[in-house]
Amino acid sequence: MTASTEGPGTPSRPGDSDALTMSREAMEELVRLVSTRIMERMEGLSADQPWRGADREALEPLLREPPPEEGRDPREVVERVVRDVLPVAARVDHPRFFAFVPSSATWPGVMADFLAAGFNTFQGTWLGSGGPSQLELVVVDWVREWLGYPEGAGGLFTSGGSAASLDALVVAREEAGAPERPVVYMGDQSHSALIRAARIVGVRPERIRRVSSDGRFRVRVDDLARMIREDREAGLTPVAICANAGATNTGAVDPLEELADLAAREGIWLHVDAAYGGFAVLTGRGRALLRGIERADSVALDAHKWLFQPFEAGCLMVKDVRRLERTFSIRPEYLQDIELGDQHVNFADRGLQLTRSFRALKVWMSIQTFGMKAFRGAVARGMELADRAEEFIRAAPDLELLSEASLGVVCFRVNPAGKSLDEAALEALNESAQDRVIAGGKAMMSSTRLNGVYSLRLCILNHTTTWDDVRETLEAVIEAGASM
Ligand SMILES: *Cc1c(COP(=O)(O)O)cnc(C)c1O
């Protein structure tokens, strides 16, 4: 075993004094070990619990130590991480992980991250990465077509939806003339990432307007129009309207066409947060639900959610990509060599990051491998499973539906037939039912509040999840509720 006899830092070439290089044999051995451990995890996933947590007190003694002065056997380092660190976490790709937003990566996507790290791609300038930049242009153009955006639209891959929305609000602010007293509008169902983005671009917290929702958790456009009028009268300057295309709570989609009309009339930037639901446009049904998204000035998406990629894979699309580049392009002296002409996009000119990893590769590799048909089918299936969950909930005497299935999300609670419990009792009952299901290790789900009502929530978008997984989870909830 090369690794143990020569030590981790053994130079690959004799006479080389580099203590940070490994021999080819040691590297290959490590690759085999790592891939074996990943395979074991994948094969055992469904039988394993979907979540394992530990408190600080338990983890401190296990992991606290100064950095070692001398290196250790790299195999032991890997084994330790696989034993003590990585398993103490949510398995967000577990078929019965329905909490928050699950993520189930495809294997070619995982391999793409490995390749991109191994080739150490610097995806910031065309000079630094011509091939990868061309490929990112191609994948961005696929997303453009999926959204129904025109030719002049473009964008980039980002760490996630938060970064995509932040970049979008920077453009919106600049396009509004970087006003002194900016206001941003969003629904009460909008994601915290949008509030954070608005704060970062310099909008005071009291000028981040939250618009109330209708009975289906969609922004009330009349209220929004009135707020805009009042703010203008008060001397404030609207910078952006942020709409949901799949709110995290309920999967609700704001009335995008009406919002686009309002934004056009008022001359305000319309940003659509489609981090959750955006890739539903791949299906006919999702396309219909998200009609109007192509009229937005910008759209944030998350390929690590409904496009089955490993973290991190967000995407920002801007209808007029020149506006994006106008906002972010800066040419310091030390980058004077990178100017290769308009045709040669420097992705650093489209967002916050100069040094960027090659995120488009994972999307490209998994689509090349499986084809679009497979992706469309997987997205459609998430929606179908949520529909079936809704039917099941409606038919179960001890469950109450709190929001209809939308884009893979369904909200409900235990409400035992014939017991007529008050709200406080129902909340206590549901909290304990949820705790019990999680403690049972069978499934993982999270709760939320809908108009103040404590609600259980299933978010179903894992491509490996089956109806049995969903049904067994709902049955576990009923059982947990009945045993109290
Ligand atoms: C996940 C999500 C975000 C944040 O995206 P990150 O990838 O976590 O940065 C924003 N908005 C919505 C609706 C989301 O679901």
Could you report the per-residue pLDDT of 430-446, keeping only the tens digit for each?
999 999 999 999 999 99
Give distance in angstroms: CA of 411 to centre of ligand 1: 19
Q: How many CB atoms lie within 10 A of CB 397?
A: 10
Span 109-130, pLDDT tens digits: 999 999 999 999 999 999 999 9
Give yes or no for residue 407 CB within 6 A of ligand 1. Answer: no
- Distance, in Å, from the CA atom of 144 to the CA atom of 319, rounded to the nearest integer, reads 9
Q: Among 377, 374, 370, which Cα is nearest to 286's?
A: 377
Q: How far is the CA of 29 from the centre of ligand 1 (A)?
A: 37
Q: How many angstroms does the Cα of residue 274 sit away from the middle of ligand 1?
A: 8
pLDDT, average across residues 276-287: 98
What's the gap in Å between 312 CA and the centre of ligand 1?
11
Contacts with 287 (C-beta within 8 Å, 6 or more apart), sequence order: 280, 281
**Per-residue CA distances from 387 to 262, 382, 409 (Å):** 32, 9, 9
User: Does residue 292 come out as left (phi exceeding 0), alpha (psi in the -120 to 50 range) or beta?
Assistant: left
Reported as half-sphere exposure (CB side, CA atoms, 13 A), residue 22 has a value of 20
Q: Dump pLDDT digits (tens) for 131-172.
A: 999 999 999 999 999 999 999 999 999 999 999 999 999 999
pLDDT at position 8 over 60: no
- Within 387-459, strands assigned E span 399-406, 409-414, 446-450, 453-459
* Binding site membership of 193 for ligand 1 (Cβ less than 6 Å): yes
- Protein residue with least CA distance to atom 7, ligand 1: 160
* Distance between CA atoms of residues 331 and 360, nearest Å: 24
Q: Give pTM, 2 decimals.
A: 0.95
Report the nearest atom of ligand 1 relative to the CA of 161: 5
* 2 band by pLDDT with thresholds 50, 70 and 90: very low
Query: For residue 204, how far is its CA from the centre of ligand 1 (angstroms)?
Result: 22
What domains are defined for the chain?
26-64+75-103+371-484 (3.90.1150.170), 121-330+337-370 (3.40.640.10)
Q: Each residue of 54-81: pLDDT tens digit?
A: 999 999 999 999 999 999 999 999 999 9
Q: How far is the CA of 170 from the centre of ligand 1 (A)?
A: 17
Residue 110 half-sphere exposure, CB side, CA atoms within 13 Å? Answer: 11
Is 103 near ligand 1, meaning CB less than 6 Å away?
Answer: no
Please tell me if the CB atom of residue 162 comes closer than 6 angstroms to any atom of ligand 1: yes
Ligand 1 centroid–CA 31 distance in Å is: 32
pLDDT tens digits, residue range 307-360?
999 999 999 999 999 999 999 998 888 877 777 777 899 999 999 999 999 999
Q: Ligand 1 pocket test: which of 157, 192, 195, 276 has the largest number of ligand atoms within 8 Å of its C-beta? A: 276
Q: Band of the pLDDT at 215, cuts 50, 70, 90?
A: very high
DSSP H helical segments within 123-191, as ranges? 130-147, 161-175
Identify the residue whose tokens are 């019990």: 436
Q: What digits encode the pLDDT tens for the residues 257-268?
A: 999 999 999 999
Residues 47, 34: Cα–Cα separation, whole Å: 21
Closest to 460 in 3D by CA, of 448, 442, 479, 443: 443
Q: Calculate how far, in angstroms, residue 211's C-alpha sits from the geometric centre of ligand 1.
A: 19
Atom of ligand 1 nearest to the CA of 162: 9
CA atoms within 13 A on the CB side of 46: 11
Residue 360: CB within 6 Å of ligand 1?
A: no
Task: Give the other-Cβ count within 10 Å of 64's Cβ.
Answer: 7
Answer for the pair 82, 13: CB distance below 8 angstroms, yes or no: no
How far apart are the CA of 252 and the centre of ligand 1, in A?
14
d(CA 101, CA 461): 8
Q: Is the CB of 271 under 6 A from ligand 1?
A: no
Which residue owns the Cα nearest ligand 1 atom 5? Answer: 161
**Main-chain dihedrals φ then ψ at residue 67, nearest 5 degrees:** -65, 130
